[in-house]
Amino acid sequence: MTRSQATLALLVCLATGVVTAAQNKTAPAKPPKDAAADINTARADATHAVFETTEGTWMSVDVSPDGTTLVFDVLGDLYTVPVAGGTATPLTRGPAYDGKTAMTPFEALRASTREAAQKIGFLPDIGTVETGKLADLVVFDADPLADIHNSVKIRWVVKNGELFDAATLTRRWPSEHPLPRMFWQEAP
């Protein structure tokens, strides 16, 4: 067998082995279905509650252009009712409507910081992180813009130029100092 024939035989064996190995591989497993992707399907741990109410708070109410119908919202669903009174008729209902938030996470964070400071007239001093402003702020363990529920995952608190551990409120900077025991806490 010549050197070129041996090389050809080796290439054929390798190619056959690669093809055989590739044919023996199983298809990649499909990722599990994301339960949150189908908003109209109830979660497995969901609890179904039925109730009736004759009043509500924090509701948006509007009157139709012809003045005969009220439109209002309760728990994320829209209803109509004649101005003269009667039974409310649902316009929207179900998880697709109930799960819709009124603000994006960015809008919620902006409303609770910059916009709040502006409403009380203190925007020149607080509400944003800028040179010359008071900088009381929190540092999160997770991104609240990805999920607004991450806004409760606070790692650090900066107040009056001091750094505190959020879990224990131990001052970490400029010097280490544990939170003093409060009057309502039990003695050790």
Q: pLDDT tens per residue, the chain (188 residues)?
A: 555 554 444 444 444 454 444 455 566 677 776 655 666 677 777 787 888 888 877 788 888 889 899 998 887 788 899 999 998 998 887 665 655 556 888 988 999 999 999 999 999 999 999 999 988 899 999 999 998 889 999 999 999 889 999 999 999 999 999 999 888 887 76
3-state secondary structure at position 155: strand
3-state secondary structure at position 5: helix
Domain boundaries along the sequence of the chain: 61-98, 105-173
pTM of the model: 0.46
DSSP label at residue 152: G
Q: What is the dihedral of CA 165, 170, 176, 182, to 10 degrees?
A: 170
How far apart CA 165 and CA 64 sit, in angstroms, is 53
Question: Is 140 in contact with 154 (CB distance < 8 Å)?
Answer: yes
